[in-house]
Structure 1
Amino acid sequence: MGERLLLIEDDPQLGTQISGCLERAGFEPTWWTVGRPLPPGEASTYRLVILDLMLPGTYGLDILRELREGASDVPVLILSARNDTADKVRALKLGADDYMTKPFWPEELVERVRARLRRPLLQRQSLVEAGSLQVDLDSREVRVLGKPVELTRVEFDLLAALARRRGASVTRQWLAEHVLDPEREGTERTLDVHVSRLRRKLGPGKHIETVWGIGYRLGEGDDA
C-alpha cells in the first residue's frame, strides 16, 4: 500500500482529478468534501494533508490552527484560489508547509507532495540552537554567543524558515516565494543578497550553508 494522504477539497471535479493523480502516483488518498476538526490522533494516520481553504463546514485555516495547537506535525499543503501575499503569509505562520494557488496542474501538486515527504518534519520547538546560534521563533529573537543580533523582518523570516527545517536543504525558489514579497523583491537574486547580509550579521561560523544547485540550509554553527 502507498503512503496515506488526506485530501480536503469540496470541488467534486477537482477532487476527483487530484485523487486520481495521487493514486496513479502510488499514494493512498482519503478524500473529504467538507471541513471538520481533525484531531491530532487521527491526523497522525496520514503522512500529509492537502487542505482547501474555502470549505463548507469549517474554514481551512481553522483546521490548520487546531492541528498545530494540538501539537500535530503532519505536513499540510494549502490549496487556495486566493493569491494574496497576506493570505500566504498567514497560512505559513499558522504552520502550513506549502501553498498552491488555483488553478494548478494536479501533476505539479503530486511533485510538491513528493518533495514535502522527502523533507524532515518542521521543528516545533520555540528555541532552535545550532552551535553558538540561538533562534527563538516565538519572540523573534536571535543571539550569537549569547549576544542579541538585530535582524530585519526578511532576514529573520529567512533564518526562521531554515531553522524550522534544520538539516534540510531548502531551495532558493521556495525561499524566494515564501519569505520575500513577490510583488517587490521575490527573486532568487534578491534572496542571495539577503542571505549575504544575514551571514555578515551572524558573524563567523557555518550558520547558513550553501547547498550548490539547490539552495541553503542551517548548519551546525561550528565556529572553529
Structure 2
Amino acid sequence: MGERILLIEDDPQLGAQIADFLGRAGFEPTWWTVGRALPANEAATYRLIILDLMLPGTYGLDILRELREGSGSDIPVLILSARNDTADKVRALKLGADDYMTKPFWPEELVERVRARLRRPVLQRQGLVELGTLRVDLESREVQVAGRPVELTRVEFDLLVALARRPGAAVTRQWLAENVLDPEREGTERTLDVHVSRLRRKLGPGKHIETVWGIGYRLGEGEEP
C-alpha cells in the first residue's frame, strides 16, 4: 500500500490525470472535487495534500488556514493555481503552504514535487529529527551538528523545533514570535530576529536556517557554503 495523498481539484480532466499519475507512481490518491472542512483526525491519515485554490464550496486558502490554525496540522500542502500572481504565492506561503505550482503544468513534475516534499523528514514520534548534519533530540533537548554538541537556550531550542516541524517550508516571523517567544517579555519580530541570529552562529557555517524574504524563516539542509 502506497503513501496516501489527498487531491482536492474540481477540474475533472486534470484531477483524473493527476490521480492516475500518482497511482502509477506508487501513491494511494484520494480525490475530492469540492472543498470542505478537513478535521485534524482525518488530515492525519494523509502524508500530503494537493490543494487547488478555486474550488466549489470554499476557497482553497480557507481550507489551508483552517488546517494550519485550527488543527495545527503539520501535513505538507502543495498548492495548485491558475493564477501566477506573486501576491497569491506569498499569501499561500504565509498561510503555511509548502509548495506552489501554477497551471498548466506537467503531471510528471507534480509527482516529482510530491516525492521531493515527502523525502524531507518530519518530526518522528520518538522525538528525534535529523536533517543533513543537524540532529535534534526532543526528549533530552540535545542538539548536534556533524556530531558536535550545541548548547542552546530554551528560546533557541524551541525556535529550532518550530522550524524542524516543517523542514524546508517557510514559517512566518509573526507565527514564530507569537508561538515561541514570551508574549509579555519578548514577543516581537525584532526580538525574534536577534534569537535567529544567535541560533545561526551556534549552529555554525552553512544554511541551516534560511531567510525567506517577506515571509520568515525555514530550516534547510545545512550544507556548507
- Indicate the TM-score class for this superposition, using the shorter chain for normalisation: 0.5 to 0.7
Amino acid at match of 1:83: N
Q: How far is the alpha carbon of 1:14 from its aligned partner? A: 0.1
Closer, same or farther in 2 for the Cα pair 1:13/1:114, shift >3 Å? same
1:37 aligns with 37
Q: Any conservation in 2 of the 1:22–1:28 contact (CA below 8 Å)?
A: yes
In the other structure, the counterpart of 1:101 is 102
> What residue in structure 2 maps to residue 84 of structure 1?
85
Amino acid corresponding to residue 142 of structure 1 in structure 2: D
Which residue does 1:161 correspond to in 2?
Answer: 217
Matches of 2:102 and 2:196, distance apart in 1: 41
Q: Does the aligned pair in 2 maintain the 1:35–1:56 contact within 8 Å?
A: yes
> Which amino acid in 2 is paired with 1:72?
S
- Partners in 2 of 1:101 and 1:108 — Cα distance? 11
The unaligned stretches of length 5 or more in structure 1 are: 124-128, 148-154, 170-208, 213-224
Q: Deviations over 1:128-181 (max 9, x none)?
A: x9856946633432225998xxxxxxx84359433xx3xx42xxxxxxxxxxxx
Structure 1 residue 211 displacement after superposition:
4.6
Residues 103, 71 of structure 1: alpha-carbon distance in 2 compared, 3 angstrom cutoff:
same
Change (3 A) 1:51 1:146: closer
Whole-angstrom distance in 2 between the partners of 1:116 and 1:77: 9
Alignment of 1:143 onto 2:194: yes
* C-alpha distance in 1 between matches for 2:89 and 2:32: 23
The amino acid of 1:41's aligned partner reads N
User: What letter matches 1:120 in structure 2?
Assistant: P
CA 102–131 in structure 1, closer or farther in 2 if over 3 Å, else same: farther
Over aligned residues, Cα RMSD in angstroms? 3.0
Gaps of 5+ in 2: 124-128, 130-142, 144-149, 160-172, 178-187, 199-209
Q: How many residues align?
A: 159
Whether the 8 Å contact between 1:132 and 1:145 is mirrored in structure 2 is no
The residue that corresponds to 1:66 in the other structure is 66
What percentage of residue pairs aligned between the two structures are identical?
Answer: 69
SS at match of 1:161: strand
Cα gap change, 1:19/1:145 in structure 2, threshold over 3 Å: closer, same or farther? closer
Q: Does 1:112 align with 2:125?
A: no
Indicate conservation of the 8 Å contact 1:51/1:78, yes or no.
Answer: yes
The TM-score, its normalising length taken from structure 2, stands at: 0.63
